[in-house]
Structure 1
Amino acid sequence: MTSATQTMIRDAAVGSIDIEAVSKSYGDAEVLSEVSLSIPAGSFLTLLGPSGCGKTTLLRLIAGFISPTRGRIRIDGRDMTDVPTQKRPIGMVFQNLALFPHFSVAENIAYGLKLRRVDAASIRTRVDKFIHLVGLDGLGDRRIAQLSGGQKQRVALARSLVLEPSILLLDEPLSALDMQLRKQLQFALKDIQKQLRTTFVFVTHDQEEATMISDRIVVMSNGHVQQVGTPQEIYADPQNLFVSKFIGEVNQLPGRVQAVGQRLAIATGAGTVDLPSHVARGHDPAVGDSVIVCLRPEKISIHEPGETLAPDMVTAAAVVRDALVIGPLTRVTLDAQGTRMVSVRMTDTPGRIASGQQVQIAFPADSARVFAPLSADMASAFGEDA
């Protein structure tokens, strides 16, 4: 890290956000309901969820563009209820970048500093620092119309960061970019955030993007927070079926509980599965309950019929329907007694895989998660009926 960058690193205690039982309604329509959330200073937090889940509304509440119907938002311990947007320690990068096309790169970045009546020498120094930080060296005199989409995105980022806010709010800023450019800027954003230790609050509906760049993810649906955790926690241990389905690919086995206790016996289309009771999430299953058993594809291994496996493995007979090589991975589609399942394994894993092959599939019992079915409003996010 350069000495110039080091001079811009702020006190790590600055930039915390506490959202306390915040609700937002428009007439009879409640967009957010009793949202409570603590965002540590210097973290990269992503608000993730389908369109209409309330994530952008929450971002606008933090910014002060709108006021909560109920609840409080505090920044660094200070109640922001009566603090206007321009007096909050925040910057914002919109999906619509709103750059000045007749200004140069440097002039766009300097605009906010001029409004604050910063002296010319300081403006030049700070603009040069942030042009370097976002990787636009040598482009300070270039007009906005001469830039690529990714370069424009970097200008918008620098224009916000040059004011040195303790918090930067980003509302789907990369959604209009092509995939390759988007990935480049995802890594750039994370690197810049680590260097400056600014608190980033990022909004997206793209779960892959969220898992790549975030320290923590807030999964939202229908105005409610469904789960908060690291990308690894949310993927490996989702707390309800919505999160399990929204983050990554998952096999779903609808079933009915046959026995409860230290073990759960669940009758599914792929046969009866015997699982430890601790794999149930969000509810206590009772005999007769309809449930969904969820399995990540990489947890399902493929074996020869009759092969002896470890005692903690749950097994079922299956037929290979398709095996698709995707780079270093092979994605295998299987039919387990009429239930479609997907397994992902390393392409160089020993063992022949071919369409029509009779196999034995297996998964560790504690790798499964058992959930209650989705409610009607949550199922609609996936275009399903409850």
Structure 2
Amino acid sequence: MSAELEVVRLDKHFAGSPTPALRDFSLHVAAGTCTAVLGPSGSGKSTLLRVIAGLEQADAGHVRIGGREMDEVDAERRGVGMVFQRSLLFPHLSVRDNVAFSDRIRGASKARARDRAEEYLGMVRLSGFGDRGVDELSGGQEQRVAIARALAAEPAVLLLDEPFSALDPALRSDMHDLLDAVRSQVAPTIVLVTHDRDEAARASDRIALIEHGVLLHESDVHDAYRRPQSLRASVLMGGRNAVRGAVRDGIHHSALGAVPVPGAADGTGVMVVRQEDVTVQGDEPRRAAGTVDSEALAFGGVVEDVRITGPRSEVQVRCGDVLLHAEDAPTRSRRIGERVSVVIPVGAVHVVAE
């Protein structure tokens, strides 16, 4: 029940809009994998899904599913299932008959369609809910039914358009676990649209970053965080540290000094490092400030700000002309004005274009 998905150089422009919704956008999703399309509101995420589903026609480019071009194929014949932020269940049908709907449309008997509906309700952990009305469900249960209904159609590609964004954090976590269970059983090809990078990292194999209709970055989850393809991609993934400078012979020169960046091309470049990879040490640092060795960099600095952000503290340290952001356990009491050492693993350093 899965197929390779390719979108090739898609362009889409809406009348009255000064900028394209999609611009030369290409993406490959391997069969049975999940790619999260992540970007701010208005970036083109939902338009991309609608073009894949056949609900919008692209101005240029192609959509291929299982190697077959879909450009002239009607939406209902593409083998695509779609789940939206709102469940859009049929209010006049029971839960069971909502899930059975696609089989009934395809000509299955009522008994057969209902039996299969029970299988998919079990898959989304709603066994015993078949006789309920839609108005008897919670928001999370509605989305489970919507996913079961989409899966019952046996789509080659399952498109999820921010389906969990209206749920509270605990329910969203439950839905991510559910998605894992569904993938282990039927391995659909999934494109998940979200504006939440934590959700993208939790639920997907790969992340595609989009802004103003343009693909900024596409990779596995690790590289999306720690090897972004541009400064803007780093920012969209929540990166806080960006040190401008220039690379010469594998060394990045900046206000922080000379930092080894093996493999980086010569020229201007921005050194980025995740704040969670930056360690703040107190009065007895393991390395002297200002040193560089094969494993780590160390810089002396002064704590400029401390903010508690849930289970972590964000510590801002002024190292000369550079302000570095680090994450620390809130149990470690850092004082504004305290002199500290900042330690960064060499492997955590990455250089991107401006």
The reply to whether TM is greater than 0.5 is yes
- Amino acid corresponding to residue 334 of structure 1 in structure 2: V
Cα distance 1:342–1:264, how it changes in 2: closer, same or farther (>3 A)?
closer
Q: CA RMSD in A?
A: 2.4
Matching of residue 275 in structure 1 with residue 256 in structure 2 = no
Residue 293 of structure 2 is matched in structure 1 by 311
Matching of residue 370 in structure 1 with residue 348 in structure 2 = no
Q: Runs of 5+ in structure 2 lacking a partner? A: none
Q: For residues 34-63 of structure 1, give each alpha carbon's deviation from its aligned partner in whole angstroms, at most 9, with x where no partner exists.
A: 222221111111111111222211111110
The CA deviation at 1:102 is 2.7
Q: For residues 73-115 of structure 1, give each alpha carbon's deviation from its aligned partner in whole angstroms, at most 9, with x where no partner exists.
A: 1111111111100111111111222112232211211222222
Cα distance 1:110–1:86, how it changes in 2: closer, same or farther (>3 A)?
same
Deviation larger for 55-64 or 328-337: 328-337
Residue 264 of structure 1 is matched in structure 2 by 252
May I ask how many residue pairs the two structures share in their alignment? Answer: 347
CA distance in 2, matches of 1:205, 1:330: 23
CA distance in 2, matches of 1:131, 1:53: 34
Cα distance 1:354–1:52, how it changes in 2: closer, same or farther (>3 A)?
same
CA distance in 1, matches of 2:223, 2:262: 19
Matches within 5 A, 1:99-114: 99-114=89-104
What secondary structure sits across from 1:30 in the alignment? coil
Residue 7 of structure 2 is matched in structure 1 by 19
8 Å CA contact retained: 2:4, 2:29: yes
Cα distance 1:111–1:306, how it changes in 2: closer, same or farther (>3 A)?
closer
- Amino acid corresponding to residue 131 of structure 1 in structure 2: L
Matching of residue 118 in structure 1 with residue 108 in structure 2 = yes
Q: Runs of 5+ in structure 1 lacking a partner? A: 1-9, 374-386
8 Å CA contact retained: 1:305, 1:358: no
8 Å CA contact retained: 2:249, 2:266: no
Aligned counterpart for 1:358 among listed residues 339, 349, 353: 339
CA distance in 1, matches of 2:310, 2:210: 32
Deviation larger for 22-31 or 121-130: 22-31
Q: For residues 114-154 of structure 1, give each alpha carbon's deviation from its aligned partner in whole angstroms, at most 9, with x where no partner exists.
A: 22221122112101101111111221111111111100111
- Amino acid corresponding to residue 360 of structure 1 in structure 2: S
Matching of residue 231 in structure 1 with residue 209 in structure 2 = no
8 Å CA contact retained: 2:261, 2:350: no
CA distance in 1, matches of 2:228, 2:170: 29
Aligned counterpart for 2:125 among listed residues 135, 155, 160: 135
Residue 144 of structure 1 is matched in structure 2 by 134
- Amino acid corresponding to residue 308 of structure 1 in structure 2: R
CA distance in 1, matches of 2:338, 2:196: 36
Cα distance 1:149–1:352, how it changes in 2: closer, same or farther (>3 A)?
closer
The CA deviation at 1:194 is 2.4
TM-score of the two chains, using structure 1 as the length reference: 0.82
The CA deviation at 1:326 is 6.4
The CA deviation at 1:251 is 1.8
The CA deviation at 1:354 is 4.1
Matching of residue 293 in structure 1 with residue 293 in structure 2 = no
Matching of residue 333 in structure 1 with residue 342 in structure 2 = no
Matches within 5 A, 1:196-211: 196-211=186-201
8 Å CA contact retained: 2:239, 2:272: no
The CA deviation at 1:355 is 4.1
